[in-house]
Amino acid sequence: MEQEGIQLSIITVNLNNAKGLSNTLESVLAQLNPAVEFIVIDGGSVDESLALINGVASKLSYWVSEKDSGIYAAMNKGIKHARGSYLLFLNSGDTLVSDQRLDELLSLLQDAPDLLSCCIRVERDGMEDELRSPIKKFSLQTILLNSLPHQSTCIKRSLFLKHGLYDESLRIAADWDFWLRLTRHPVRYKQSELVLSRMEKEGLGANMNDHHYQERLLIFERFSKDLKPNFFSLRLIYRNRRLLYWLFRKTLKKGTLKKHG
């Protein structure tokens, strides 16, 4: 149940990333106000993370450190303990870009959109951060092409109550799956040029491996069948060419093994 006065719940999940967690804690705690609560879900870290959390525990609305089944199980745990009207997920290592961003964000939320997506800076090795703007339209086509930046998108908590939590059977792309599920329902989407957060490059989704491709293919198959063949389909195939090339190679390899088996 939403507590009067709390507009935004910021949820940070962490596992053995004390350095990143320290940056996230510093970034968020510098801007906390009565309209914002901060929740930290730790997966039973064995580094210095727990000491960091204990050091700021009095400023947290809720925190826990215990083993879980993965990042989305941790996020779901945070959702269940959140009391704000909106949720913002900042994983350990992700930060708000500068002071006053939360005040500006809360002002934008006064229009009560279901989703509010802002700009994000993405860390790049040895280079200047890449600035990414949010998509202009929320639809099946645009989400299949581009998705939304988790760390710069505020989600109305009621959407999780209506349409379900993150799929914990997915390890890497359950946020993409959630956005796609929402495209099947009326959603009031708002995009802003506010540069809200900075995403740490390293993470589960930073490097594409077989598991990542398999998971994305599963989700791609779930939702792309809803599309009608048209020019957009060609763009979609091009945008996902790495995924489809991986599938082609896996299929070809499997056929070769059967032939020589």
Predicted confidence (pLDDT) per residue in 202-218, tens digit: 544 444 556 677 787 77
Q: Is the pLDDT of residue 192 over 80?
A: yes
Half-sphere exposure of 8 (CA within 13 A, CB side): 28
Instruction: Tell me how far apart the alpha carbons of residues 42 and 24 are, in angstroms, rounded to a whole number.
Output: 13
**Exposed e or buried b for every residue in 160-184, given b needs 16+ CB within 10 A?**
beeeebbbbebbbbbbbbbbbbbbe
H/E stretch holding 166: none
Instruction: Tell me how far apart the alpha carbons of residues 210 and 172 are, in angstroms, rounded to a whole number.
Output: 12
> What tokens does 203 get?
């993470």
Highest mean pLDDT among 46-55, 119-128, 141-150: 46-55
Architecture of domain 8-210: Alpha-Beta Complex (3.90)
Q: Is the pLDDT of residue 243 over 80?
A: no
Report yes or no: 153 and 79 within 8 Å, Cβ to Cβ: no
φ/ψ (deg, to 5) at 167: -75, 105
Instruction: Tell me how far apart the alpha carbons of residues 90 and 63 are, in angstroms, rounded to a whole number.
Output: 14
pTM for this model (two decimals): 0.85
Q: Where are the domains of the chain?
A: 8-210, 211-260
Query: Angle at the Cα of 200 (from 126 to 73), degrees rounded to 5?
Result: 155
